[in-house]
């Protein structure tokens, strides 16, 4: 099981949560960004459907793989 760490940070004149260098939309307050990050982290735990997914890695290469709906990451939030 993978582990995800969302982090709430000052960003773009407000606050955002960040995961692996990618920022969310900006929020006007830290509390709003923290609430959004907690909601997103909780959604990571919800099982889904098993289906094929496509994604692009940091080098720009595309991948196709089977994503099992029961294989959910462990996610938390750092303020």
pLDDT digits (tens, 9 = 90+) for 16-30: 999 999 999 999 999
Cα(70)–Cα(41) distance, integer angstroms: 16
Q: What is the pLDDT of residue 17?
A: 98
The residue extents of the domains of the chain are 3-78
pLDDT tens profile 49-67: 999 999 999 999 999 999 8
Nearest C-alpha neighbor of 38 from the set 69, 23, 22, 17: 17
Residue 34, SS3 per DSSP: helix
């Amino acid at each position: 099981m993978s582990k995800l760490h969302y982090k709430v940070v000052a960003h773009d004149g407000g606050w955002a949560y960040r995961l692996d260098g990618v920022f969310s939309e900006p929020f006007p307050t830290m509390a709003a960004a923290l609430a959004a990050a907690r909601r997103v982290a909780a959604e990571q735990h919800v099982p889904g459907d098993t289906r094929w997914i496509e994604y692009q890695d940091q080098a720009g290469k595309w991948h196709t793989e089977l994503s099992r709906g029961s294989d959910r990451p462990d996610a938390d939030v750092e303020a």
